C-alpha cells in the first residue's frame, strides 16, 4: 500500500527523467542536428564511468578481504560494463568529419582528457607512473574523485596480496592443471585490461576517422597522436609477465 503522505513513485520520478532529458544543451547556433548524438554518447559514458568506479571500489574491498569468489563476481560485472562503454563508440562512427567540423568550434576547451571519472578509473585500475601523474596535474589540483582512488592500493597489488593470503603465487595459479577460482580471477583481470585496451583502440580509430591522425584534439590536446601513446599502458604488467613465463615455458617443453 502506498503511503498517503508521500507522492506515488513512478518510472519518471524515480529516474528523474524530466531533469535528465534537460541536460542535453547544444551550444551550436543554429543547433547542429548531430550535436545531440555527440552529447548523449559522452554523457552516457560518464554515467557508465560512475557505475564502474562504484564497482571498482567494491572490488577493492573484496580483494583486500581476500574474497576470491566475490571479487570474481564483481569482475564479471566490470567486464560487462567495459564492453558497453566500448561498443557505444560505434554510434559516433556515423558522424562524418565534415559535419563534426560544423559544430566543433562550439566545444571550446572541452576535451575527453578532462573527464575526472575516466582518469579516476585509470588510477584505480593501476596507472600510477610519473607521466600519468603529470598528466593528472596539468589542469590544476587533482579532483576529489581521483584523490579518493589514489588513496587505495592498485588492483594488481591487491590481487597479488590476495594470492599471498591464500598461500599461492601467480606462477602456481597459472601452472595449475585445473582452472581454479584464482586462475579465473587472474584471467578476468586480463580480460578487463584487454577490454580497456579495445576501448582505447576504438577511440583512436574514431578520432582519426573524424578529425584525422595528425590533427590536434579539442581543447588544444594532441588528439590521436596522444591517444596512440596511451595504448602502450598496462594496468597489470606482473600478471602479463607471469602468464607469459608459465605458458611460454609450457610451449617450449
The cell for 181 is 577460482
pLDDT in tens, 230-243: 666 889 999 999 98
Grid cell, residue 203, equals 577511440
Region 83-103 average pLDDT:
94
Average pLDDT, the chain: 88
Note the pLDDT of residue 170.
93
Q: Within a domain: residue 160?
A: yes
Give the pLDDT confidence score for residue 240 in this predicted structure: 92
Residue 97 inside a domain? The answer is: yes
Per-residue confidence (pLDDT) for residue 203, from 0 to 100: 86
R_g of the chain, CA atoms, integer Å: 21
> CA 16, CA 157: separation in Å to the nearest integer?
39
First to last CA, the chain: 69
3 in any annotated domain: no
Q: What is the pLDDT of residue 177?
A: 61
Q: Is residue 22 part of a domain?
A: no
**Total number of domains in the chain:** 1
Indicate which CATH number applies to the domain containing 207. 1.20.58.480
Q: Is residue 17 included in any domain, yes or no?
A: no
CA 237 to chain centre: 18
Average pLDDT over residues 142-169: 96
Band of pLDDT at residue 169, cut at 50, 70 and 90 = very high
Examine residue 60 and state whether it is found in any structural domain, yes or no: yes
Range of the domain at 128: 31-252
Q: Would you say residue 213 lies in a domain?
A: yes
Assign 221 a pLDDT band (cuts: 50, 70, 90): very low
pTM for the complete prediction?
A: 0.88
Q: Residue 231 domain-assigned?
A: yes
* All three cell numbers of 217: 584534439
Average pLDDT over residues 169-183: 87
Mean pLDDT value across residues 62-81: 98
Task: Give me the pLDDT at residue 132, please.
Answer: 86
Residue 253 has pLDDT above 80, yes or no: no
Amino acid at each position: 500500500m502506498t503511503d498517503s503522505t508521500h507522492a506515488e513513485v513512478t518510472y519518471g520520478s524515480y529516474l528523474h527523467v524530466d531533469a535528465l532529458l534537460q541536460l542535453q544543451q547544444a551550444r551550436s547556433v543554429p543547433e547542429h542536428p548531430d550535436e545531440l548524438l555527440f552529447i548523449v554518447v559522452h554523457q552516457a559514458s560518464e554515467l557508465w564511468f560512475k557505475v564502474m568506479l562504484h564497482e571498482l571500489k567494491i572490488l577493492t574491498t573484496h580483494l583486500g578481504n581476500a574474497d576470491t569468489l566475490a571479487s570474481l563476481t564483481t569482475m564479471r560485472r566490470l567486464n560487462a560494463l567495459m564492453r558497453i562503454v566500448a561498443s557505444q563508440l560505434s554510434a559516433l562512427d556515423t558522424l562524418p568529419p565534415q559535419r563534426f567540423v560544423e559544430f566543433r568550434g562550439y566545444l571550446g576547451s572541452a576535451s575527453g582528457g578532462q573527464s575526472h571519472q575516466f582518469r579516476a578509473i585509470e588510477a584505480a585500475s593501476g596507472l600510477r607512473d610519473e607521466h600519468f601523474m603529470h598528466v593528472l596535474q596539468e589542469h590544476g589540483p587533482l579532483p576529489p574523485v581521483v584523490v579518493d582512488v589514489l588513496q587505495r592500493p592498485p588492483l594488481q597489488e591487491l590481487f597479488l596480496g590476495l594470492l599471498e593470503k591464500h598461500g599461492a603465487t601467480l606462477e602456481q595459479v597459472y601452472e595449475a592443471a585445473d582452472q581454479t577460482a584464482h586462475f579465473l580471477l587472474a584471467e578476468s583481470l586480463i580480460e578487463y585490461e584487454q577490454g580497456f585496451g579495445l576501448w582505447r583502440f576504438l577511440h583512436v580509430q574514431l578520432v582519426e576517422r573524424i578529425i584525422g591522425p595528425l590533427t590536434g584534439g579539442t581543447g588544444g590536446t594532441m588528439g590521436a597522436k596522444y591517444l596512440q601513446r596511451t595504448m602502450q599502458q598496462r594496468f597489470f604488467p606482473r600478471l602479463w609477465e607471469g602468464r607469459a613465463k608459465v605458458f611460454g615455458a609450457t610451449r617450449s617443453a
